[in-house]
Chain A
Amino acid sequence: MFSLGVQNMNDNNAKKIRMEKTAAVVFALIVWQAGAMLLDNSMLLVSPLTVIKRLFTLFFESDFLSSVSFSFIRIVSGFLLALAAGSLFAIIAGRVHIVEVMLWPFMTAIKTVPVASFIILCLIWLSSSNLSIFIGFIMVLPIVYTNMLQGIKSTDVKLLEMANLFNVSWYKRLKYIYLPQLKPYIISAGSVSIGLAWKAGTAAEVIGIPEGSIGEKLYEAKVYFSSADLLAWTLVIIFASIAFEKLFLNFLKKFFRRLERS
């Protein structure tokens, strides 16, 4: 009975939060629509209705899917590569202090150097079509590395002592001790860095203008002063970013649930 009551309270709370958020979005759209009507200049500020209409026409354009998949594959690849490399570096740095020290200037530099500087520098080294992979990778790497290293360092020493005493294999240590303790750090790194990978990756495409990318579409919108196109493609980026974030976090949740039940 008590747990049922608590469940109902949680459901009501979640419903309330959802309603508040919906109301906030509707309010923002009204402010936007009112601003657009007040300015009455679609180049300066296009109305949300026009953007939504443009978004629907975009779906039926022949190169829509190819542009989205071009950018999606590259930006997601950059993120996944950074996830793998950042985790690997963190594992090594967590075990060998000198590696942590030697990596420190690189990670600090990547965190502080503006993304535009990286993009321009990388344009000299790489083809523009692969630029978003590298930029996504380089922006996400320090976030994953820092989070994972923090997680590894905060692993329960007493559990590791127990594992040493019982001669627990490295695979079981990973499964039973490290991964469960790293769970919040992996989730946090994922949710923070996916949005960043999309922002930085798209910026790289806008500057590098690879053919058939979302960045190219944004660049064209800028050249033709088409605010509707610009905002419609921006919405596409936001949807793609949120969709991948949800997919990734759901995958993580399912992975950990299976791990704990195995």
Chain B
Amino acid sequence: MDIVVSGLSKSFGTNLVLDGFNAVFPEREITCLMGPSGCGKTTLLNILMGFIKPDSGSIQGVPALKSAVFQEDRLCETFNAVSNVKLVLNSKSDSGIIVEHLNQIGLKGSLDKPVNELSGGMRRRVAIVRAILAKSDILFLDEPFKGLDDDTKKDVMNYLLDNLKGRTVVMVTHNMDEVKSLNAGLIQMEGKSK
């Protein structure tokens, strides 16, 4: 089922962030949101994820099982990468699969360290594996490649493409190359979008 957003408005105090926003996010496809800073991309994502309520408008078709890579990594700082991924999985899930995914994304050798001892790029990759392995029908990605160098970005993008299949993806980005590489649909947002 596609996600249909109609007439969505949201303001914070006197700051109108979304003004009658309309969009359709096709099921099992990747849709990218682009636009200048402050145009409401993250606000829209937060509304879709259910963290904030819109002032008006309607949203239909958001699946119950959600997963996300947030703008901040939102990791449990004193735990290692494997534990951070385990957090969102079923208690019976196999640690071997987690290790395999973390190794695949270039974190081999850093799995035992608490995540607060990892670099920004490594932390980002832990957040990405967590989002991928969590059971979900929709994936929200808020600037998932932030802090990654070009080579790592390429690897992570391939990792995402290999593992996204079958899920609806809504991704915030500032980079048109990412949209093309992921073969994604594009919604261009402008301040107070109509």
Closest to B88 in A: A166
Write out the residue numbers on chain B whose beta carbons fall within 8 Å of the beta carbon of A162.
Answer: 68, 70, 74
Q: How far is the CB of A6 from chain B (nearest CB, A)?
A: 16
Task: Mark the stretch among A14-22, A172-180, A196-204, A209-217 that contacts chain B.
Answer: A172-180
A180 lies within 8 A of B78 (CB): yes
Interface residues of B in 144-170 (CB under 8 A from A): none
Interface residues on A, range: 10 to 19
The answer to the question of B12 belonging to the interface, with a C-beta cut-off of 8 Å to chain A, is no
Q: How far is the CA of A162 from the CA of B127 in the complex (A)?
A: 11
Q: Given contacts A166-B134, A168-B87, is CB(A180)–CB(B77) below 8 Å?
A: yes
A113 to chain B, nearest CB (A): 39
Asked if residues A165 and B66 are in contact (CB atoms below 8 Å), the reply is yes
Residues of B near A165 (CB, < 8 A) are 49-51, 66-68
Report Cα–Cα, A163/B51, bound state, in Å.
12
Let me know if A176 and B70 touch, CB within 8 A. Answer: no
- CA A159 to CA B70, docked complex, whole Å: 10
Q: Which of A169-191 contact B (CB under 8 A)?
A: 169, 172, 176-177, 180
Q: Report how far A176 CA is from B74 CA in the complex, Å.
A: 12
A169 to B86, CA, bound (A): 12
CB-based closest 8 A-B pairs:
A166-B88, A162-B74, A176-B76, A260-B78, A176-B87, A180-B78, A158-B74, A166-B134
* A177 touching B74, Cβ below 8 Å: no
Interface bracket on B = 20 to 34
Contact indicator A176/B83 (Cβ below 8 Å): yes
- Distance in angstroms from A261 CB to nearest chain B CB is 8
Q: Could you say which of A158, A167, A177, A262 contacts B72, with CB atoms under 8 Å apart?
A: A158
In the assembled complex, the Cα of A163 lies from the Cα of B49 at a distance in Å of 12
* Residues of B with C-beta under 8 A to A262: 83
* A→B interface (CB under 8 Å): 158-159, 161-169, 172, 176-177, 180, 260, 262
Q: Hey, which chain B residues are within 8 Å of A167, CB to CB? A: 65
CB-CB under 8 A from B121, the residues of chain A are none
A159 touching B67, Cβ below 8 Å: no
Interface centre among B70, B72, B83 (most CB of A within 10 A): B83
Measured in the bound complex, the distance between the Cα atoms of B134 and A260 in whole Å is 21
Measured CB to CB, the closest approach of chain A to B67, in angstroms, equals: 7
30 contacts across the A-B interface (CB closer than 8 A):
A158-B70, A158-B72, A159-B74, A159-B76, A161-B51, A161-B74, A162-B68, A162-B70, A164-B50, A165-B49, A165-B50, A165-B51, A165-B66, A165-B67, A166-B67, A166-B87, A166-B88, A168-B87, A168-B88, A176-B76, A176-B79, A176-B83, A177-B76, A180-B76, A180-B78, A180-B79, A260-B78, A260-B79, A260-B83, A262-B83
B114 at the interface (CB under 8 A from A): yes
Docked pose: A177 CA to B83 CA in angstroms: 12
Q: State whether B114 touches A260 (Cβ < 8 A).
A: yes
| Bound Cα distance from A120 to B65, whole angstroms | 59
Could you tell me the distance in whole angstroms from the C-beta of A202 to the nearest C-beta in chain B? 37
